[in-house]
Structure formats: structure tokens, C-alpha cells
Amino acid sequence: MGKSLLDIAYEVVASRNDACSFDELWDEVCAQAGVDSGDISKKSRFYTNIMLDGRFVTLGENKWDLRSRHTFDKVHIDMKDVYSEVETSDDDDEEKLGEEGYDSAFETYDSEESEEEEEESSEETETEEF
């Protein structure tokens, strides 16, 4: 049985002294494995697998290297920083507008319901008087 594409990728990156782009890595892995580098399905699956494989790390700008060559501080992404950069002001305005419309629909329903209750109670009072 032959080596997996990830094992070949590991050997390719380990033999280099520096990081390489994903496309360079894909082309080299395909050449060694005898796989068509134009197969988009295999390329996307390989990308997903390399993202999930703990031996590899992305250094940004689509550069890949072995995780063992880098310290945690250099490759760790603090998710608080990622989410703090997201602007939410536009979404909040839209959400408030949506909630106001939602609330007003219930206010209309509640006012109609209370009017019906008042009519029913006045009818009951009228029938009790007879």
C-alpha cells in the first residue's frame, strides 16, 4: 500500500528548510503520488485534511510548514482577537428593526384581544341585568 497524500506532504515539507505555499506543496505531492493536480475534488479534500492534521501549520498568506518548527506563540490565533474585529453595528440596527416589527405585531394582537374581552364582559353584564 502506498503512502497517503498527507504523509507525502509531510516528507515534502520536512525536506525543505522553509515554509512553502499550498500550491507548491500540492504540485509536489501530486508529482510524487502520480495524482492529477487539476483534480479540484482531491485538491479541496487535501486542503481540508492538511488543515485538520496536527503536524502542519499555516503561517498566513497560504504558507505552510511543520508545526514542530514553530513555537505556540507564533502560530496560535487568539479567537478573542478574531471576533473583536467583527463589526456588529449594522447587524444590530437591522435586528432592532426586526424586533420592533415583531413587537408591534403582538401589540396589535394584544389590543384587539383586550377589545374583544371588553365587549364580551359588557355583553355578560347586559345579560345579567335582565
Residue 10 neighbours by CB distance under 10 Å: 18
Query: What is the number of helices (H) and of strands (E) in the chain?
Result: 6, 3
User: Could you state, in order of their start, the residue ranges of all structural domains in the chain?
Assistant: 5-75, 87-129
- State the pLDDT confidence band at 88, using cuts at 50, 70 and 90: low
Q: Has residue 87 got a pLDDT over 90?
A: no
- Would you give the end-to-end CA distance of the chain in angstroms? 98
**Amino acid 42: pLDDT:** 94
For 72, counting Cβ atoms within 10 Å of its Cβ (0-12 exposed, 13-18 middle, 19+ buried), the class is exposed
**Amino acid 109: pLDDT:** 58
- The position carrying cell 456588529 is 88
- State the pLDDT confidence band at 44, using cuts at 50, 70 and 90: very high
Per the prediction, the chain carries an average pLDDT of 75
For 17-42, the pLDDT digits (tens) are: 888 999 999 999 999 999 999 999 99
Pick the CATH number of 5-75 from 3.60.20.10, 1.10.10.1250, 3.40.50.10190, 1.10.3720.10: 1.10.10.1250
